[in-house]
Structure 1
Amino acid sequence: MLKKIPRTLSPYLLKILMEMGHGDEVVIGDGNFPAASHANKLIRCDGLGTTELLESILELFPLDTYVDTPVSLMAVGDSAAKDPEIWQSYNRILKASEEENVQIEYIDRFDFYKRSKEAYAIVTTSEKALYANIILKKGVIS
């Protein structure tokens, strides 16, 4: 065991995060996301939600400061819910981390899927909230 490693981060997920370089992307997918058919590397985090995983990952993972939007969300389609509650949680988590002025982009569902196929890895969760899929672009530690 190690100190200060969030308990929600498995050894395999830690390995993947360590392997990633500047500009690489990781997707955190909700329970409905087609992760297995899209992933180059698939990390299963069954039983966890996206918010607790995002909090844990941001403890260790620097976001890219060389791009305008290091965080991407899957845009809401023709649904009545234009601002899903889970996004408010993501904003709170981002503000609580060292990444408080992060800009977020919203990507059409099919563009999000295409970008996910190019991501370094996809982390799948048991999140039930709709539109909880998020892409993080890795930065550097200076």
Structure 2
Amino acid sequence: MLKGIDPRLNADVLYVLRAMGHGDALVISDTNFPADSVAQATVHGDLLRMENLTAADAIAAVLSVMPLDTFVDDFAMRMEVVDAPNKIPDVQNEVQAAVNTAEGAERLLLGVERFAFYDLARKSYAVIQTGERRFYGCFILRKGVIGPDA
């Protein structure tokens, strides 16, 4: 246990978050996402797990130590619902709230079509699979920077 570090963040996740650089992308997935096969194509190459958490809890923990990119529109993305891209399921509303809390302002998640999401995920730095069992609990976060005064 470490002081000031969210206990939901395990050593493997902390290692990857620290290793990532500005602009690198992190996938946070639900239990149905093809996380292992996608993770093999990423920079890190191995699947990370936060299995006892919902997507929103995992993202809140990650955002307690990782800033989001403020220079791009795709700072945080959600997988769109098939045939209903504007529908926002409860799991995505919960993640939106976690992002808003971390950012201190409302910054809307960018919707990405399912297969385009898979393609982006394979190009990411790493994949974290959560215990989220609700459909469309898949997200991509882009790492930002911490300024010299922080």
Q: Which residue of 1 aligns with 2:26?
A: 26
Q: 2:103 aligns with which of 90, 98, 103?
A: 98
Indicate the residue corresponding to 2:146 in structure 1.
Answer: 141
Structure 1 residue 134: Cα displacement: 0.4
Deviation at 1:21, TM superposition (A): 0.1
Q: Cα RMSD between the aligned structures?
A: 1.7
5+ residue gaps, structure 2, are none
What percent identity do the matched residue pairs reach? 37
Residue in 1 that maps onto 2:56: 51
C-alpha contact 2:96 2:109 (8 A) present in aligned 1: no
Shift of 1:101: 3.3
Q: Deviation at 1:58?
A: 0.7
Question: Which amino acid is the alignment partner of residue 55 of structure 1?
Answer: A
Farther off after superposition, 88-97 or 27-36: 88-97
Do residues 15 (structure 1) and 15 (structure 2) align? yes
Moved over 4 A (4+): none
> What is the aligned partner in structure 2 of residue 67 from structure 1?
72
**Matched residue type, 1:72:** M
TM-score (norm 1): 0.93
**1:132, CA displacement in angstroms?**
0.8
Conserved in 2, the CA contact under 8 Å of 1:29 and 1:132? yes
Q: Structure 2 length normalisation: TM-score?
A: 0.88
1:79 Cα deviation after fit: 5.5
Residue 20 and residue 77 in structure 1: after superposition, are their counterparts in 2 closer, same or farther (change >3 A)?
Answer: same
* Number of matched pairs: 142
Task: Give the Cα–Cα distance (whole angstroms) in 2 for the partners of residues 78 and 98 of structure 1.
Answer: 30
User: Could you give the per-residue CA deviations for residues 56-106 of structure 1, whole angstroms, max 9, x where no partner exists?
Assistant: 111111000111230000011126992201121112112211352323211
Change beyond 3 A, Cα 1:55–1:80: closer
Amino acid at match of 1:97: A
Q: Flag the 1:127–1:81 CA change in 2: closer, same or farther, 3 A.
A: farther
Contact 1:71 1:134 in 2 (8 A): yes
